[in-house]
Amino acid sequence: MAILADQNTRVIVQGITGREAVIFTKDMIDYGTKVVAGVTPGKQGRTVHGVGVYDTVRRALKDHPAEASVVSVPPALVKGAALEALDNGIGLLVIVSERVPRKDTIEILEVAGEKKARVIGPNTLGFISPHRFKLGMAGGPVKDVKKAYMPGPVGIASRSGGMTTEIANLLTTNGIGQSTCIGVGGDPVVGSNFLDLIPLFDKDPETRLVVLFCEPGGIIEEKLAEFVMARRSLIPLIAFVAGRFVDNMPGIRFGHAATIVEGDRGTTKSKIAMFKKAGIRVAESFSDIVVIARECLLGVEN
């Protein structure tokens, strides 16, 4: 089984008539995701790849019950779209929109917490369970997804959407399949981070190992290491920490909004040290992920 959703999860797309959403909606449908309705105010009555468009989430759900929504609207409209979905009982939001004001994200997460809903993103490509479904833009077109991803026992949680696919492709090329692969989002504040997702992977009987793609900035990796040390028994983890050069250039952002280091906490050096202290395997090079994964899987099987 996958975490967060499965092939029976019914999905709506908010902002479905937008240029990006039109493309990834087709990709999701082609991959087997159950996209049941779309929402764009003022566009009710249209269809996108056979999916009916509604003016409101409430109206869409009346005709097509759903559990999840992919939100792809301009950043200033994300809060309204997300709160509308949450107010109408959607339990899983995947917010692919970029440049969402941080205060809006915090408000969305507060409401989601009150309603016990799960949020992935903002600024995420979404997530995928190989040969089952995908939510958002994860993996791109189906022909690319089929090449890069294959079913198997390794989960992926990444701060970079693109690197989610790069890691999956590396594993697939070496005959190692994946269970659920998630891009958590590149913003400083996101709905579900490593600390939220690892316990879900830990409970998933199909996932026997998780690969983390980490970046400079933020302290969630250090907190995860502390969590692992406190638990003592947890699913095996492999961490690849990119951007080590950033430690020597404090105060400068590279790539994602969250990739900025201030002081000692959040540096790649600090993350690596904490990982090693917690017994989390650290891949020194990208190709080392495969070597360590094989060792860990063999250890789990034995």
Which one of 49, 64, 131, 256 is the catalytic residue? 256
Mean pLDDT by 10 residues, the chain (302 residues): 93 98 98 98 98 98 98 98 98 97 97 98 97 95 94 97 96 98 93 96 96 91 94 89 62 51 72 95 96 90 54
Q: What is the pLDDT of residue 260?
A: 53
Contact (Cβ atoms closer than 8 angstroms) between residue 164 and residue 181: yes
Q: What is the pLDDT of residues 19-38, one digit of tens each?
A: 999 999 999 999 999 999 99
Give residue for tokens 């080590």.
Answer: 244
pLDDT tens-digit readout, 222-257: 999 999 999 876 899 999 998 664 554 555 555 554
Predicted local confidence at residue 217, as pLDDT: 82
Residues 6+ apart with CB under 8 A from 28: 11, 35, 70, 133, 134, 135, 136
- The mean pLDDT value of the chain amounts to 92
Cβ pair 150, 130 in contact under 8 A = yes
Residues 218, 259: Cα–Cα separation, whole Å: 8
Ramachandran category for residue 167: left, alpha or beta (phi over 0 → left; psi -120 to 50 → alpha): alpha
Tokens coding 194: 């490593």
d(CA 33, CA 25): 9
* H/E element, 71: strand 68-71
Query: Would residue 49 show up in a list of annotated catalytic residues for this protein?
Result: no
CA 212/CA 198 separation, integer angstroms? 10
Contact 218, 268 (CB under 8 A): no
Tell me: the pLDDT tens digits for 271-294? 999 999 999 999 999 999 999 999
Domains of the chain in sequence order = 10-301 (3.40.50.261)
Q: Which residues of 66-87 are buried (b: 16+ CB within 10 A; e: fewer)?
A: bbbbbbbbeeebbbebbbbbbe
* Residue among 200, 214, 192 nearest 281 (CA): 214
Residues near 95 by beta carbon (within 8 Å), at least 6 away in sequence: 71, 78, 82, 108, 119, 120, 121, 122, 123, 124, 185, 191
